[in-house]
Amino acid sequence: MRFWSGVLETNAAGQVSFPIAIPQFSGSLRIMAVAYKEGAFGSASQSMTVADPMVVSTGLPRFLSPRDRVKVPVSLTNTTEQSTPAEVQIQVSQALKVISESRFTLSIKANEEGQAEFEIEAASVIDSATVEVVVQAFGRTFREKLDINIRPVVGLVQLAGQGELKGGQSQEISLQHDFFPNTAQAQLWLSRSPMIRFANNLEYLVDYPYGCLEQITSSAFPQLYAQDLMKTLRPNLQNTQAYEARIRENVQEAIFRLMANQTYGGGLSYWPGSYEETWFGTAYAAHFMIEAQRIGYAVSEGGLGQMFNYLENKARDQKLVNYQYLDAQNRPRVKTIAPKEALYSLYVLALAKRPKVSLMNYYRENAQWLARDSQYLLAISYLLLGDKNSYQKLLPKGFEDEKSVAVTGGSFHSSLRDEALALNALLEGDPEHPQVSLMARHLSEALGNATNLNTQEQAFALLSLGKIARKQAPTDVKAEIWRNNTPAGQFTGEDLRLSQNLAGQNLRLSAQGNGSLYYFWEMNGLSASGKVKEEDRQIRVRKTFYDRNGAQIKDLRFRQNDLIIVKVSVVTESLVQDIENVVITDMLPAGLEIENPRLMPSREIRWIRTQDEPQYYDIRDDRIHYFCRVNAKTQSFYYLARAVSQGTFQMGPVSASAMYNANYASYHGSGQVTVLPREGRAN
């Protein structure tokens, strides 16, 4: 807090006054003055204590969760030489309830403190609230008003569904839920284009919560070719120019953010501030920038050129790796291949008109080392050079006898991603090839039936299908929408999005005319119950509390001001592979605060002999995120928390999930935490 008077003129006695309107404040002010006259200068400073006769200090946690009960200490400091009685009252807004006495009378001696304690409970709502303490003393009224948020115990829950209707058919859709009413949102999209079926996929990519290199690229890449779908998903913009401007802003910002990850070697790092380059991530980002530059986006030529140099150097590394896949009978197989990153790099360089023909020839002569998607990429690379003969010899006939086992790092390959990447390459070099329609239909069916898709699968599928969707033949199908047996709207041909008052309703769609109507619905909200199904899907994460001496605290009862060591352990239950790019989220109860997110065992807590280092971590007021690679060796991360507020608090689960494959996830450890007074003991 600073106040500046500007230049003031003194009176004849050399005095000057400057009034200051100080907001609610108790503490020390430093007053500084600089004076000058002609060539002479002088300065002085003085500290001044600012305090009301009765200073009110209210102790609240940073946030609350529904059904939390917290004891609120109110300290009253008499700053005068006179003793006084004081009447203390607490007032709360609608989202809170006082469950103790709301008024106390104290006698506070001169220059001493008194304390009143209240207890409040948060309602089962998600809202902001206020707490106001009113004190009557010295014939005056003193107030302190504080804001506090009531946040959910569990994160956002998302539900979605989609389908296709022929003319003459109808469909019932139930949007019933158990969310908090003020958090529940539902939307329904209708379109004659099959791309609407994948609205949730593009929505997921655009809103994906982590800002790593792969996610930034995957978010922006489909927006190059899915503008019609973006208009449906982002209807708050009112005209075509605004839609296009929004998309261009998204893509251009992604280009700038990706370039900010470039290292001195020309490659891109996975996380901001890291110096470790990612081969596949660099090729993926370069592919995106090439296509963005082609349609008019500004891309640094120097930066892109360094990326190409990096890819050329990496592609020269002719090492081989083991590759797991399923054959035509879905039997697991292993073979030795050239890294998928190498062939993807050669394809990107061919797109950039910087082909490495000698390396392409090397892999053409050793085609037995190529995975199926790599064969497509090499074939199209030759076609881009005008070598149709090599293209025809290398082009495979499909993926039926080679479906790669999904990985969560490296090239992020899976059978679905590989086919989508191959289709995108075919559309680039030979869009009329008979395989295009077959692969598009297979990809569309796989996308529609899949429950959990990673960002690579969604990004390349949307890229390919977005290009194809523009060529779809028009239909004349129309539809009526009913909500609880009451007409709610009509679909006449233009893409339609409904979002008003849908959550909790029963809908019915009735289609008429020729062709197909595609629909997609999405609903999200915050669970009123706060319950989470505890489960382990290929990952096992657990949270354990210890005191500073290393004794485990099992009953979740702490004493105020205690230091608590939280151990988060994670291990994979998968026997096939390590799981890369896992995010662990630990949500704290309101009575605790994170004090140190990374303990140093040798200096702070000596009983912690070893602890693992995450690749990256992110700390918030109410949670901590760890990013790591999970394998069969248990990894343990520690952080230090402090019990700050007395009461009973709801605790959310610790969760671990692979950022690019939702099939790998674990949720465990939700419950209730009690913080007792410092002088009390846990029972």
- Which of 461, 489, 504 terminates a domain? The answer is 461
In a shared domain, residues 311 and 328: no
Domain count, the chain: 5
pLDDT score at 356? 94
In a shared domain, residues 483 and 385: no
- 465's CB contacts (< 8 A; 6+ apart) are 194, 195, 198, 440, 443, 444, 447
| Domain presence at residue 539 | yes
As to burial, measured by CB atoms within 10 angstroms (0-12 exposed, 13-18 middle, 19+ buried), residue 282 is: buried
Token pair recorded at residue 643: 């019990």
Sheet containing strand 535-537, edge to edge, reads 535-537, 661-668, 654-658, 579-587, 623-630, 616-619
pLDDT score at 676? 95
- Which of 525, 544, 560 terminates a domain? The answer is 525
In a shared domain, residues 437 and 503: no
pLDDT score at 85? 94
| Domain presence at residue 38 | no
pLDDT score at 683? 36
As to burial, measured by CB atoms within 10 angstroms (0-12 exposed, 13-18 middle, 19+ buried), residue 408 is: buried
* Dihedral angle over CA of 208, 214, 220, 222, nearest 10: -90
In a shared domain, residues 521 and 549: no
Q: What is the DSSP letter of 604?
A: S
| Domain presence at residue 333 | yes
In a shared domain, residues 89 and 112: yes
| Domain presence at residue 11 | no
In a shared domain, residues 660 and 541: yes
| Domain presence at residue 244 | yes
Which regions of the chain are under pLDDT 50? 232-237, 575-576, 601-602, 680-683
In a shared domain, residues 68 and 122: yes
Tokens 């248990």 sit at which residue? 634
- Which of 461, 488, 505 terminates a domain? The answer is 461
Question: Rounded to whole angstroms, how far apart are CA atoms 584 and 582?
Answer: 7
CA 151, 152, 158: angle at the middle one, nearest 5? 130
In a shared domain, residues 363 and 301: no
pLDDT score at 120? 97
pLDDT score at 204? 57
| Domain presence at residue 434 | yes
- Per the DSSP assignment, residues forming a β-bridge with 114 are 76
Token pair recorded at residue 202: 């593009």
In a shared domain, residues 615 and 560: yes
pLDDT score at 576? 47
| Domain presence at residue 597 | yes
Residue 663's CATH number: 2.60.40.690
In a shared domain, residues 214 and 278: yes
Residue 76's CATH number: 2.60.40.10
pLDDT score at 551? 93
φ, ψ for residue 230 (rounded to 5)? -60, -35
Residue ranges of the alpha helices (H) in 267-339?
A: 279-294, 301-315
φ, ψ for residue 463 (rounded to 5)? -60, -50
pTM of the predicted structure, to 2 decimals? 0.58
Cβ count within 10 A of residue 32: 8
Q: Which domain holds residue 330?
A: 321-337+348-448+455-461
Token pair recorded at residue 530: 């706060």
In a shared domain, residues 356 and 414: yes
Residue 283's CATH number: 1.50.10.20
Token pair recorded at residue 491: 């679909």
SS3 625: strand
User: Which among 611, 539, 615, 610 is positioned nearest to 573, based on CA atoms?
Assistant: 539
In a shared domain, residues 612 and 516: no
| Domain presence at residue 40 | no
